[in-house]
Structure 1
Amino acid sequence: MITIRNARRDEADLLAEIGLRAWEKAMVLVGETKSMVESARSAFVNFTHSEWLTISVIDKNGQPAGWAAREHLDENITDFWIDPDFQRQGLGTALLAEIEKEIVHQGFTRASLQTHAMNVEAVGFFEKHGYAVHWLTTAYNPKLDRDIQSVGLSKQLAAPAVPAYGQEF
């Protein structure tokens, strides 16, 4: 059984490990991941401990299998991680649908995210779910302490509100 729920503070370390395992798989094409693992581990631990209130967890049969976060509770999905042992089972699709529903419920009409440009699997996943690449850039990533080439993706989730004649927003 699959359930999606809010994260709990007491599982921050477990969520950090899930994120790290998914990150390591995604970073294989970037190379040099061994030198970045400890920085990445520290970033995941810091994030899951400080931002657990912004994290949604997907469980499979009562076991956390992945998580997503919207750090500022806006339209930007800042993290999206499915444990490699649970990938290709529909969990990412279910989690993404729930996150998109939350974004719309909170009044936003568009979802956006970014990932590293060589993360072909993630880019393909999001494109399959209606996201389009809107930009490509190279920028310093303080969490990884190096320049990373990134792509930005977005998806229109709802029609923007159009004011009626004579009405102002």
Structure 2
Amino acid sequence: MINIRHAHDDEASLLAEIGIRAWGRAMLSVGDIEAMEKGAESAFTNFTRGSWRTITVVERHGVPVGWAAREMLDENITDFWIDPSQEGQGLGKALLDVVEEEIRSRGFDKACLQTHARNEQAVRFFTARGYSVQWLSFVYSPKLDRDVETVGLVKYFAVEEPDTYGPGF
């Protein structure tokens, strides 16, 4: 059974471990993971401990298996991680649906995120769910202490039009 909920402060270490495993898989195409791994571990640990209130968790049978974050609680999805051992089971889609609904319910007309340009799996996942690439650039990543080729993706939410004919009808 899949359940989606807000994170608890006592599960920061578990969420960091999921993030690190998913990050490692996503960074395979970049190479030199070992050089970046220590910084990534520290970044995930610090983030999940300090920003757990901004994290939405997907769990399967009561066990967290992925999470997403919106650091500023705005339209920007700053983190999206599914444990590699749990991929391809609909967990990412379920999590994304809930995060998008949270964004929509706050009055935003779009959801935005970014990932490194070589993360083809993530780009494919998000474009299959209505996101489009808006930009490509090199962005300095303080977590990795290096420039990373990055793509920005955006999904505009449909605006419901009134079911009328012409103005005032």
- The bucket for the TM-score relative to the shorter chain is over 0.9
CA distance in 1, matches of 2:142, 2:59: 30
CA distance in 2, matches of 1:101, 1:14: 25
Contact 1:23 1:81 in 2 (8 A): yes
Residues in 2 aligned to 1:157 and 1:65: alpha-carbon distance in whole angstroms? 27
CA contact (8 A) 1:3 1:58 kept: yes
Q: Following the alignment from structure 2 to structure 1, what is the Cα–Cα distance between the partners of residues 139 and 54?
A: 25
Q: CA deviation at 1:158?
A: 3.5
Tell me what 1:95 maps to: 95
Identify the residue that residue 132 of structure 1 maps to in structure 2. Answer: 132
The match for 2:55 is 55
SS at match of 1:45: helix
TM-score, with normalisation over the residues of structure 1? 0.93
- TM-score computed with the length of structure 2 as normaliser: 0.93
- The residue number in structure 1 matching 2:66 is 66
**Letter of the 1:38 counterpart:** K
**C-alpha displacement of 1:160:** 8.7
Aligned to 2:15: 15
Mapped partners of 1:89, 1:118: distance in 2: 23
> Structure 1 CA distance, aligned partners of 2:158 and 2:52?
27
The answer for the alignment partner of 1:41 in structure 2 is 41
Contact conserved, 1:56 with 1:68, CA < 8 A, in 2? yes
Q: Count matched residues.
A: 162
Distance 1:116 1:14 in 2: 24
- CA contact under 8 A between 1:104 and 1:158: conserved in structure 2? no
Residue by residue, what CA displacement relative to the aligned partner does 1:110-133 show, whole Å, maximum 9, x if unpaired? Answer: 000000000000000000000000
Following the alignment from structure 1 to structure 2, what is the Cα–Cα distance between the partners of residues 5 and 147? 33
CA distance in 2, matches of 1:12, 1:160: 38
Aligned equivalents of 1:140, 1:106: Cα separation in 2:
29
Could you say which residue in structure 1 is the equivalent of 2:141?
Answer: 141
How many angstroms apart in 2 are the aligned matches of 1:140 and 1:3?
Answer: 35
Gaps of 5+ in 2: 162-166
Matched to 2:136, the amino acid is: L
What do the CA deviations read for 1:21-48 (whole angstroms, capped 9, x no partner)?
Answer: 0000000000000111010000000100
Which residue of the partner structure matches residue 158 of structure 1? 158
State whether residues 100 and 157 of structure 1, in contact with CA within 8 Å, keep that contact through their aligned partners in structure 2: no
Shift of 1:159: 2.0
Give structure 1 stretches of 5+ with no counterpart: none
2:164 maps to what in 1?
none
> Aligned letter for 2:90?
G
Give the deviation of 1:140 after TM superposition. 1.4
**Identical aligned pairs, as a percentage?**
57
